[in-house]
Structure 1
Amino acid sequence: MSKIENGYDLTGKVVIVTGSGRGLGKAYARWLAKRGASIVVNDLDEQSANDTTQDILAAGGKATAVVAPVGDTEAAQQLVSAAVSTFGRLDALVANAGVLRDRVSWKMSDEDFDLVVKTHLRGTFLCGREVIKYLREQGTGGRLIVIGSPAGQLGSFGQSNYAAAKAGLVAMARTWSMELARDNITANAVIPTAMTAMTATIPIYKDWAEQFEQGQALPPLARQEHALGSPEDVAPLLEWLVSDASANVTGQAIGIGGDRLTLYSHPTELVNEIHDGGWSASGINAAWSQSMAAQAQPSGPIPRPAPETQTAR
């Protein structure tokens, strides 16, 4: 695979991008198409799906649209069928489709929980399963890329449904990486951050969001410490993971946003204590106080330097 403009030529690659009618998913689809990939655009909103498809075609790219909500097997099969019937093969899945229903747990309805889990976790699994079946039969390897979130890595207030689903996606990617190693199919999770409509609602980012909306460059503090930039700042990681250059990268959770690139650790044991014959409750309390409490990790976002209250205009 040749390098182009500090990137990779994806000509001949066929990629399904779910949830690509708007936002980050649209940026991924357009970027990959610009690099030469043929794209199966997916969204539950017909106009959004068609808009992304037309954008790609107008720029000289190749794309087709499938209008369907992920979360059932029929939709997943439609996506694979569209790739094969339109472009003759399939190489990669970017499982991006998602939805938010934010509530604190005691106010979250069954429907709020189920919709988020169905879309993110079940939808990714079903799309992944159908893609895996085809890739294994095709026999030329492939790429599975699931889109996680810092919420799934660290927890997020008012998002128990979303955080749990996103954490599950990382575990799913790690599991797929083991199951599919012999088939030369890689599976990785991308943990994106960007200045989006959702990010703009966070009070400390208000000034930065206004700057971004006005087309001004975000300051280094935003881009480097808070990993905030445009959706297009995230897309090169998707390009690399789809390309042949990442053939030996699998089972990883990789974050990107603004100027920041992050490799997340697998969950690791911080402290081990051994007590011959097993543990009593009081023994656990003593071990916790003596050697474990100091290593305990807080939940929630990693503290970052706060933006100044007034940014330069």
Structure 2
Amino acid sequence: MSLDGKVAIVTGSGRGLGRAYALELARLGASVVVNDVDARVAADAVAAIQAIGGRAVAVVAPVGPTATAVELVDTAVRDFGRLDILVTNAGVLRDSVLWKMSDDDFDTVIDVHLRGTFTTVREAVRHMRPRGEGGRIVCIGSPTGQRGNFGQTNYAAAKAGIVGMVRSWALELKRAGITANAVIPVAATAMTATIPYFSAAVTAEANGEPVPEFFRHDLGFGTSDDVAGLIAFLGSDAAATVTGQVIGVGGDRLQIWTHPEAALTAYREGGWSYDALVKAWPSEFANALQSVGESFPELPADLRPATS
């Protein structure tokens, strides 16, 4: 099953994960609207798609404003006649601990990730619904949005918000045959290149060498190409019944994340007063508390970063 005749928009697709998604969609036959804020890298991505026999055009504009969303959809329809697949990948980082994070740090990340996803999906759906032929919405989340991460208040809020929107859209768009899913990628990118724990994997990929098995299997951490297959699958007719899901992928691993459910439910006649909670908490609730953040196993000795 190919994507012949399909038309896709991939935001933030000039480099990294987004570029891999765009290339994979094009390899399977889709025409692609590439998007980036850097005209040179956007042109390079278009040229790479054309080099494998694909069709692509670029929209150079920041994601977030409604005007960019309109331009993206209008470009798809004008140049390729339709829109079938939207992948919202564009993002930025402004990491800082809570007490040092500025309003601009917070607003910039929320505007690109969360508002950018909202405006672009809204515009895509405004085209897809009246056409009556369904569609595919694939939004990119993050482990940080699922688990939290030190120094990423803004990014965690945006990525968790994207997952919440996807679940709502799956309900709203079901009758129109439009699916909405979130993908949680774990891969060697510019964002992970600065983390010493992943240095051996990032270095291997940069050198064109295989990512060590420990990363690929034990951590589910691989390359951008390892994520691209899931993006293409969710954009295809084969995934017509898959919607409202949060799916993690990286290296050799694929995960379907659970939706939040109550870990423990307890009842007390008359409700839970302060005194009742003080008395009952240690025995009834403490063992059900949930962990936060991610924890990683110790690196094998041969994969540990060199220390000076």
TM exceeding 0.5: yes
The secondary structure found in structure 1 opposite 2:64 is coil
Determine the structure 1 residue equivalent to 2:209: 216
TM-score (norm 2): 0.96
For residues 186 and 41 of structure 2, what CA distance do their matches in structure 1 show?
A: 22
Q: Which digits, 9 at most, give the CA deviation of each residue in 1:120-157, with x for residues without a partner?
A: 00010000100011100111000111000000000010
Alignment map for 1:176-255 (pairs within 5 Å): 176-255=169-248
Determine the structure 2 residue equivalent to 1:60: 53
Deviation at 1:11, TM superposition (A): 0.5
Contact map agreement 2:186 2:221 (CA 8 A) in 1: yes
**Is 1:175 equivalent to 2:168 in the alignment?**
yes
**Which residue type is aligned with residue 304 of structure 1?**
F
**Which residue type is aligned with residue 90 of structure 2?**
A
**Which residue type is aligned with residue 297 of structure 2?**
P
**Which residue type is aligned with residue 200 of structure 2?**
D
**Which residue type is aligned with residue 311 of structure 1?**
L
For residues 136 and 204 of structure 2, what CA distance do their matches in structure 1 show?
A: 36
For the aligned residue pairs, the C-alpha RMSD in angstroms reads 1.2
Determine the structure 2 residue equivalent to 1:147: 140
Q: Which digits, 9 at most, give the CA deviation of each residue in 1:171-197, with x for residues without a partner?
A: 000000000110010000000010122
Contact map agreement 1:147 1:190 (CA 8 A) in 2: yes
Deviation at 1:305, TM superposition (A): 2.4
**Identical-pair percentage:** 53
Determine the structure 2 residue equivalent to 1:25: 18
**Is 1:310 equivalent to 2:298 in the alignment?**
no
**Which residue type is aligned with residue 91 of structure 1?**
D
Contact map agreement 2:201 2:222 (CA 8 A) in 1: no
Deviation at 1:286, TM superposition (A): 2.9
**Which residue type is aligned with residue 303 of structure 2?**
T
For residues 299 and 94 of structure 2, what CA distance do their matches in structure 1 show?
A: 28
**Which residue type is aligned with residue 136 of structure 2?**
R
Contact map agreement 2:222 2:250 (CA 8 A) in 1: yes
Contact map agreement 2:128 2:134 (CA 8 A) in 1: yes
Q: Which digits, 9 at most, give the CA deviation of each residue in 1:256-279, with x for residues without a partner?
A: 000000000000001011111111
Contact map agreement 1:273 1:287 (CA 8 A) in 2: no
Contact map agreement 2:97 2:153 (CA 8 A) in 1: yes
Deviation at 1:228, TM superposition (A): 1.2
Determine the structure 2 residue equivalent to 1:5: none
For residues 55 and 215 of structure 1, what CA distance do their matches in structure 2 show?
A: 18
Alignment map for 1:75-94 (pairs within 5 Å): 75-94=68-87
Contact map agreement 1:90 1:135 (CA 8 A) in 2: yes
The number of aligned residues is 304
**Which residue type is aligned with residue 203 of structure 2?**
E
For residues 103 and 185 of structure 1, what CA distance do their matches in structure 2 show?
A: 37
For residues 311 and 304 of structure 1, what CA distance do their matches in structure 2 show?
A: 14
The secondary structure found in structure 2 opposite 1:194 is coil
For residues 128 and 287 of structure 1, what CA distance do their matches in structure 2 show?
A: 46
